[in-house]
A and B are shown apart, each in its own frame.
Chain A
């Protein structure tokens, strides 16, 4: 059985064999995977050691102490945050063997083919069809809001395999090769002028049945794993006091007394308090999880994050004065980064944060989740969950 000391010894052995300062980062990540130190709770041979999940922190601390830079998740955030956990939870040994190592090293980027023009908050209403044909499936449909599709080798695909049963029961989950014939990726221009996302058109795309994740008809269950990881990934980032976009706003406020007004001061103080409360709340959630007393507070984190990010960006724009009326670049181009990490003008961040209350679950969907799963309130009456999918008006 692995413990702190044995994990620490394994990390030291890894660093001793492969000098991180003299090894290319991706190559080092490969060695780390092979040593079972990618995600220690995974089985041996699949990037892990079959060890308790909380020992992962020992790996991270020990590597940091050895001067190994923290894993840069920016290249493959969807793979690391959602694809990996989903394959680990629901994949076959063959799928894990093929997919996990290049996902971990960033050699193969992942994207997510869930949302459709007709299925946003009501994801289970999706219409992309997968029809069985011998040992493979043939897929037709259209997906949207797909980050990184133009870089991706693999996609998590949720498709309808049985239109004659109620919506949640007729879906199946696949891993699709984005290089397969019939996959077409087009950049989708957003309100900011740039394209962080894509539309993905699927026309007679063949997927071998060996790339099905979970049983036929079990797609919703598998997708829930992906979605839970998405909300955690978005809401749980630990930040220092005045970290991130708030820090930029505070610097501007302190540096430019001439821009201050009483109304903005009032709003800034309230924003600062909410941001600090969210930061303390995230830390509390982390402590509770580490202490084995996890509470449901994490589901509130993304709601708070969206509101704080939006208010920060709006206040920053208003404080900016004449420059608030300008914009840096309307050119239609792809962005290699998503979200608030981009160094752009206040107008960009103001516009970009409008999506924060929509992407990754709208505020309304999240409130529904809290009402159902945390507060156990009576469900809203629905007609669409018992009707065959093909009979639902759309």
Chain B
């Protein structure tokens, strides 16, 4: 069963906070533990921070293509969310969240979030409404032979107004698209673009091939170079309409909610790695004749971070579990995790850099990589403040 599939049509209710929804199991099972262990072993070797850092010297080759092939094709991870009838693994958001946690831990430069989570989620929601079936595209995504992205600026929050950067003219189920969308996740790497487009002011989603005439995608210089972004330019590009005014906005919102919910797990992985690096340093670095981890000021900072991370683990796993179970509480759980984990991950990465002292501010140390990833992730799919605003609606906490 797939989470992204069915909950699009169900409008989120404002009564969820009164219903006291049950909390699904948040404890990984043995299969999940095994997947985590094999991923950690693989990424520890192939995506060490030294290798991630070295790649920054070749900005025209931002992705680790060999590793992406291994993860997407050999391990079948690109198809986790895709049902078996389309050639995927038919797993759930729980497993995808676990993969993201490990990719976040190792800052692995692959387009997993953009392609295997957000774009895949959007396509899966499209299929009941699509003018033509998207089975071929889903099959290619599941096989890892194509990657896709949703052509929205990555900072866009799920509940923001429908994008107006791209306008289109319809001819049957084909559309001619014009517009520019900056800061699109993995734009330069995407074989397929799912483009939100206004046709006479009405929201639609269109599918455009990355190599089609009138489509250009240029790599941007990003704050976090380990997660490449690009600018998509469409000049009379031809696309196929996937969803019309009745569904386009809901599909986009749900895809971004899935993105925000699972990005929280990626942020958790990054924050845990940043924290563990700092704790190791506190144990070994000596000043004033003592390991600095024996100073109360630093011990207490570390303890507070640990307590925050323990809480973040709960909200991140809850969001993934709600996505997997297609829970009525999912929109709230997504906003909760995005707001809560986003802030904690940024604070943890910043504290990790600080606790390393001067060495933490150098290029040759990984602390800056965690700060860049955590801070940019807290902007992607909306800043925590946007998610607090969403919670005000979802949990019925009205403003003045």
User: Of B27, B339, B400, which contacts A284 at CB under 8 A?
Assistant: B27
Asked if A378 contacts B311 (CB within 8 A), the reply is: no
Known: A241-B17, A287-B26, A377-B282. A261 touches B400 (CB 8 A): yes
User: Of A241, A266, A293, A300, which contacts B307 at CB under 8 A?
Assistant: A300
| Chain B contacts with A in 313-339, Cβ cutoff 8 A | 313-315, 317-318, 336, 339
- Decide if B227 is an interface residue (CB 8 Å cutoff): no
Size of A's binding interface in residues, CB under 8 A: 47
Q: What 0/1 readout, one digit per residue, does chain A (355-385) give for beta carbons within 8 Å of chain B? A: 0000000001011101100111111110000
* Chain B residue contacts of A374, Cβ below 8 A: 303, 306
- Decide if B397 is an interface residue (CB 8 Å cutoff): yes
- Decide if A37 is an interface residue (CB 8 Å cutoff): no
Say how far B208's CB is from chain A's closest CB, in angstroms. 38
User: Of A270, A287, A367, which contacts B300 at CB under 8 A?
Assistant: A367
* Chain B residue contacts of A370, Cβ below 8 A: 303, 306-307
Known: A287-B25, A293-B27. A253 touches B397 (CB 8 A): yes
Say how far B23's CB is from chain A's closest CB, in angstroms. 5
- Decide if A281 is an interface residue (CB 8 Å cutoff): yes
User: Of B21, B300, B317, B388, which contacts A269 at CB under 8 A?
Assistant: B388
Asked if A272 contacts B293 (CB within 8 A), the reply is: no
Query: CA A379 – CA B283 in complex, angstroms?
Result: 10
- Decide if A242 is an interface residue (CB 8 Å cutoff): yes
Residue among B282, B313, B399 with max Cβ neighbours from chain A (10 Å):
B399
* Chain A residue contacts of B296, Cβ below 8 A: 368, 380
- Decide if B56 is an interface residue (CB 8 Å cutoff): no
Q: What 0/1 readout, one digit per residue, does chain B (347-377) give for beta carbons within 8 Å of chain A? A: 0000000000000000000000000000000
Known: A272-B391, A364-B300. A283 touches B26 (CB 8 A): yes
Query: CA A379 – CA B25 in complex, angstroms?
Result: 36
Asked if B391 contacts A371 (CB within 8 A), the reply is: no
| Chain A contacts with B in 235-291, Cβ cutoff 8 A | 240-242, 250, 253-254, 257, 260-262, 265-266, 268-270, 272-274, 276-278, 280-281, 283-284, 287-288, 291
Say how far A306's CB is from chain B's closest CB, in angstroms. 11
Known: A262-B399, A377-B293. A240 touches B20 (CB 8 A): yes
B interface bracket (residues with beta carbon within 8 Å of A): 35 or more
Query: CA A293 – CA B299 in complex, angstroms?
Result: 26
| Chain B contacts with A in 282-305, Cβ cutoff 8 A | 282-283, 290-291, 293-296, 299-300, 302-304
Asked if B399 contacts A260 (CB within 8 A), the reply is: yes
Query: CA A283 – CA B303 in complex, angstroms?
Result: 21
* Chain B residue contacts of A371, Cβ below 8 A: 293, 299-300, 302-303
- Decide if A223 is an interface residue (CB 8 Å cutoff): no
Closest B residue, CB atoms, query A300: B307
Asked if A277 contacts B25 (CB within 8 A), the reply is: no
User: Of A240, A274, A377, which contacts B299 at CB under 8 A?
Assistant: A377
User: Of B26, B293, B339, B398, which contacts A378 at CB under 8 A?
Assistant: B293
- Decide if A107 is an interface residue (CB 8 Å cutoff): no
Closest B residue, CB atoms, query A243: B20
- Decide if B396 is an interface residue (CB 8 Å cutoff): yes
- Decide if A156 is an interface residue (CB 8 Å cutoff): no
Asked if B310 contacts A273 (CB within 8 A), the reply is: no
Query: CA A375 – CA B302 in complex, angstroms?
Result: 8
Residue among B25, B290, B300, B310 with max Cβ neighbours from chain A (10 Å):
B310
User: Of B20, B291, B339, which contacts A273 at CB under 8 A?
Assistant: B339
Query: CA A377 – CA B313 in complex, angstroms?
Result: 22
Residue among A280, A366, A381 with max Cβ neighbours from chain B (10 Å):
A280
Say how far B15's CB is from chain A's closest CB, in angstroms. 12
* Chain B residue contacts of A265, Cβ below 8 A: 392, 397, 399-400
* Chain A residue contacts of B300, Cβ below 8 A: 364, 367-368, 371
- Decide if A303 is an interface residue (CB 8 Å cutoff): yes
User: Of B279, B282, B310, B392, which contacts A297 at CB under 8 A?
Assistant: B310
Query: CA A2 – CA B312 in complex, angstroms?
Result: 38
Asked if A254 contacts B396 (CB within 8 A), the reply is: yes
Say how far A245's CB is from chain B's closest CB, in angstroms. 16
| Chain A contacts with B in 16-55, Cβ cutoff 8 A | none
Asked if A377 contacts B302 (CB within 8 A), the reply is: yes
- Decide if B254 is an interface residue (CB 8 Å cutoff): no
- Decide if A304 is an interface residue (CB 8 Å cutoff): yes
Closest A residue, CB atoms, query B282: A377
* Chain B residue contacts of A254, Cβ below 8 A: 396-398
* Chain B residue contacts of A291, Cβ below 8 A: 27
Q: What 0/1 readout, one digit per residue, does chain B (13-52) give for beta carbons within 8 Å of chain A? A: 0000100110101110000000000000000000000000
| Chain A contacts with B in 179-234, Cβ cutoff 8 A | none
Asked if A303 contacts B282 (CB within 8 A), the reply is: no
User: Of A250, A257, A293, A304, which contacts B311 at CB under 8 A?
Assistant: A304
| Chain B contacts with A in 381-400, Cβ cutoff 8 A | 388, 391-392, 395-400
- Decide if B340 is an interface residue (CB 8 Å cutoff): yes
Asked if A242 contacts B279 (CB within 8 A), the reply is: no
Query: CA A288 – CA B33 in complex, angstroms?
Result: 14
* Chain A residue contacts of B314, Cβ below 8 A: 277, 280-281, 283-284
Query: CA A291 – CA B314 in complex, angstroms?
Result: 16
* Chain A residue contacts of B303, Cβ below 8 A: 366-368, 370-371, 374-375
Query: CA A370 – CA B279 in complex, angstroms?
Result: 12
Query: CA A257 – CA B295 in complex, angstroms?
Result: 47
Known: A268-B397, A273-B340, A380-B294. A284 touches B313 (CB 8 A): yes
Say how far A278's CB is from chain B's closest CB, in angstroms. 6
Closest A residue, CB atoms, query B392: A269
Q: What 0/1 readout, one digit per residue, does chain A (49-92) give for beta carbons within 8 Å of chain B? A: 00000000000000000000000000000000000000000000
Asked if B23 contacts A277 (CB within 8 A), the reply is: no
Query: CA A274 – CA B97 in complex, angstroms?
Result: 22
Asked if A262 contacts B27 (CB within 8 A), the reply is: no
Query: CA A381 – CA B296 in complex, angstroms?
Result: 10
Query: CA A364 – CA B400 in complex, angstroms?
Result: 37
User: Of B291, B315, B396, B397, which contacts A277 at CB under 8 A?
Assistant: B315
Closest A residue, CB atoms, query B293: A377
Closest A residue, CB atoms, query B25: A287
* Chain A residue contacts of B306, Cβ below 8 A: 300, 370, 374-375
Given contacts A265-B392, A300-B307, 8 further A-B contacts (CB under 8 A): A268-B397, A269-B392, A273-B339, A273-B391, A280-B23, A280-B26, A281-B313, A377-B302
11 A/B residue pairs, CB under 8 Å, sorted by A: A254-B398, A261-B400, A265-B392, A280-B23, A368-B296, A375-B279, A375-B302, A378-B291, A378-B293, A379-B294, A380-B294
Among all A-B residue pairs, the 4 with the closest Cβ atoms: A300-B307, A367-B303, A260-B400, A371-B299
